[in-house]
Amino acid sequence: MSKQLMDWGQRVQAQLSSLDVKSLGRVGVLLGGRSGEREISLMSGNGVLEALLSKGVDAHPFDTGLRCPTELAGEKFDRIFISLHGRYGEDGTIQGLLELLNVPYTGSAVLASALAIDKIATKQIWLSNGLSTPEFEELTATSDWNAVVKKLGLPLIVKPAHEGSSLGLTKVKSVDELPDAYQLAAGLDKKVIAETCIIGDELTCPLVGQGNTAEALPVIKIIPPQANYDFHNKYYSDETKYLCPTGFKPEVNAQIQALALAAYKALGCRTWGRADVMLDEKTGKPYLLEMNTSPGMTSHSLVPMAAKAAGVGYADLTLWLLSQTLEQKVGFKG
């Protein structure tokens, strides 16, 4: 473990040792929601809720899929832990409401959340900052499939622009498969993206902090069965293997962390996030896939795994993330 990561773990423990949990007040844990990732959000949220309660926090669940979010005003929450994934929770909408209610919350603010949920906007920002990401094209029903293949090559990836957890994703191996792949993705989202498929190691790198104080946690190498990291293998399969440390040379890990950190900063993220990366097996070059601004907190989730490698357990990580809202300024002061 690097000195920097040891320092992060030590700083977290030091901050928590002096934290008065009563200062956090009445805490709402937003979970469930209305996106295609509802079941994962329920698992994440219930894990977070249990962890906060174990630390003595006055925490309460609030399912935005079952209750109208406007009811949040009546709950008189002092701060919010957002455990929502996907649209209506990770896209800036709930963040905007909390800003209006003047309630501090975990995770990125409105703009960064809205940008990161849009894979096309995210790539445009990364490219404008000189960061590597697979070549891409937005698809429509009238796209010239042969031209798409000529530009991006085969295999290529087709996916909804605003979904996570591999929902609606297809690995296309021939031009004949493109129309069906498009229809699958378009059934979940009005915007569909195709990108060059990078063959190599699948990695993820969690990030914490904000601005110049942001830092990268340990990189995790993901080895799913049949090289298929789909919805099932992400959340339910015990066959998927995770290597942390990755087994790469230190300079390779450092390169991936630097790229992930630059991607996080370019989008203006805060509190925490997770960058998904592919490492090209031919060139050894890392490519950014997407940024998650409300990462999972399930038993199979990756941020807790990296935090543990840096010396911070699940419950402490949850409490630390919530404590970052104590200095947060939100809403309109009038």
Catalytic residue IDs: 37, 165, 235, 274, 276, 290, 292, 296
Amino acid at 163: E
Q: In Å, how far are 222, 277, 286 from 257, measured between CA atoms?
A: 16, 10, 10
- Mind spelling out the 3-state secondary structure of the chain? CCHHHHHHHHHHHHHHHCCCHHHHCEEEEEECCCCCCHHHHHHHHHHHHHHHHHCCCEEEEEECCCCCHHHHHHHCCCEEEECCCCCCCCCCHHHHHHHHHCCCECCCCHHHHHHHHCHHHHHHHHHHCCCCCCCEEEECCCCCHHHHHHHHCCCEEEEECCCCCCCCCEEECCHHHHHHHHHHHHCCCCCEEEEECCCEEEEEEEEECCHHHCEECCCEEEECHHHCCCHHHHHCCCCCEEECCCCCCHHHHHHHHHHHHHHHHHHCCCCEEEEEEEEECCCCCEEEEEEECCCCCCCCCHHHHHHHHCCCCHHHHHHHHHHHHHHCCCCCCC
